[in-house]
Amino acid sequence: MAKTITFNELRNIKDQLPSGSMRKIAEELDLNEETVRNYFGGRNFERGQCIGVHFEQGPGGGIVSFDDTTILDMARKMIE
């Protein structure tokens, strides 16, 4: 089931992550680090992909819909 949050909520999660978290998530999931950064709103598509996440502009930064919450779930666990 897809999950939807605001873009601002997603950025707040990203901002709370400890240093090195993007690299750690990328290594655990065998992904390019830029792909993980793109999941959190990055735009480096030359070095990374956009997987399982869709951005829609609107109030509060817009909304973000996730087909796959694996990266989001890992980030939340790292914050706890």
Q: pLDDT of 17-34, one tens digit each?
A: 999 999 999 999 999 999
Answer for the pair 4, 66: CB distance below 8 angstroms, yes or no: yes
User: Which pTM does this prediction carry?
Assistant: 0.81
> How far is 19 from 62, CA to CA, in rounded Å?
26
Domain range list for the chain: 3-79
66 forms beta bridges with: 3, 53
pLDDT tens readout for residues 32-72: 999 898 888 766 556 656 667 787 888 878 999 988 899 99
> How far is 2 from 36, CA to CA, in rounded Å?
18
